[in-house]
Amino acid sequence: MFRLARANVFHARPLVASVLPRPSPALNPPQAAATGIRTIQRAPTGHRKARPDPNLINERAPIRIQTLTIPKRSNALFRMLWKRLEIPDGDPDQTYKMYSAYLSGLAQRRENKNWESNFLGQTRANGTDLHNLALLILDFPNMREEEKDLFFHVLNTAAGIGYDASALSLGRTLIHNKVPTTSPYSYWAPQWGHMRDHVDYLIKLGRDANAVVLEGMVALSHKTEEQDRKALAAFKRARVLGDEMTYFDWEAGCLTGMAEAYKRLKMLKEAHDTYQLLADEGYAVGVYELAMTAPKSRDYLPRLTRAAVSGYRQAFQPLMTEHLRLSNEYKKKGDKKNAEEHLFWAAEYGNLVKYRRTLK
C-alpha cells in the first residue's frame, strides 16, 4: 500500500511511497458509478525500437500513443473521499471540475502538445490542488489501470510547476517498478520528464533528505559496482540530512537501500547491522531480512510471522514453507495436534501467496 506521510517544511505536503495498492476483493467498497466517458491516449506497453539513454534525462523523445477509455467518476465520490482523507486545503467541488478538465486535456494530448499549459491556464491549478487530486485518484475504489496512468500524469504535471512532493512521490513509485527502461511506466520514460527535471533540481540543492534517498534509489537501479557505491554515499548523506528534519518520511527506504548497497558490495556485517537497525525501529523489512539471514535460528518463525502480520508480503512464501516443514516434523513424531496446527497456517499463507499471484 501507499503510505501517506508528512513532508518536510519546504513543501509541507504528503509524500506518497511504495507501489500502487491492490485492495483485497473482500474489502473493496462498492464501485462508483460512471457519469461519463473520456478517451485518453496512453503510451503502449510493448517494447519500443529505441532505448532511452538514462543519462539524457532532459530529452523529450516522441512516443507513440494508443487510445483508452476511462469512466469519469462522480462528484459524490470526490466529496466522500475528501471527507474520508481529511484533506485540509481546497474544495472537493472545485477539485472535481479540475479533474474533469484534466481528463479532457489528457484526451487531446496527441492533437495538442500544449494541453498541459492550456489546462493550467484554464483552471489556474497550483501544486497543492494537483497533489490533492492525485491523492483522491489514488483512493478510487476498484482503481483501473487507466486511472493509474492518470494518477502518474497528474503528479508529473504538478512536478512540472515545481511541486516537490509530487515529483518525489512519482519518482519513487516509478523507480520501484520492475519494468524495462522502454516501458511507459519506467522512471526513464520520456513522458515523465517534468518529474525527472525537478527531482534533479532537488538533488542538486542537497537540502531534502527524501530527494537524496531517491538519488540513491536511482543509482541502485543501474546495478553496477560504481553506481552501488554512489548509492551508498547518497543514503549516508540522506541520513545526516534526515537527522535535522522533524520527520524523515523515507527513513525506512533510506536504510533499506543502504543495506542493499552494503550487500552488493559484499559488506555483509554492515548490511546486517543496518537491517538490525530497521528491525529495532519497527520496520518489517528489517525483521524479515534478519529472519532470512538465520533460517536455522529459533527466531526464524517468530520473525517471519512478525513481518507477515505487519504486511510484508515477501514473508508469505517462506512462512508457508516453514509451517509445512514443521507440520511434517510433528507428524513424524506422532504429534497430530501440532502437525494440524502448522498445516492450517501453511494453508493460510499458501492462499495469500496464490492471491498475490493473481494480481500480477
SS3 4: strand
φ, ψ for residue 4 (rounded to 5)? Answer: -90, 110
Residue-level pLDDT at 27? 31
**137 Cα distance to chain centroid:** 14
Q: How far apart are CA 230 and CA 168, in angstroms?
A: 19
- Summarised one tens digit per residue, pLDDT across range 133-180 is 999 999 999 998 899 999 999 999 999 999 999 999 999 999 998 888
- Asked if 191 and 61 count as a contact pair (C-beta separation under 8 A), the reply is no
Q: Is the pLDDT confidence value at 6 over 80?
A: no
Q: How far apart are CA 132 and CA 237, in angstroms?
A: 30
Question: Left if phi > 0, otherwise alpha if psi is -120 to 50, otherwise beta: which for 143?
Answer: beta
Q: How far apart are CA 179 and CA 201, in angstroms?
A: 25
Whole-number percent of the chain with pLDDT over 70: 80
Residues in Cβ contact with 230 at an 8 Å cutoff, skipping those fewer than 6 apart: 216, 219
Lowest mean pLDDT among 58-67, 127-136, 146-155, 331-340: 58-67
Lowest mean pLDDT among 58-67, 98-107, 227-236: 58-67
Lowest mean pLDDT among 106-110, 166-170, 318-322: 106-110
- Summarised one tens digit per residue, pLDDT across range 171-206 is 999 999 888 889 999 999 999 999 999 999 999 999
Domain coordinates in residue numbering, the chain: 1-205, 206-281, 290-360
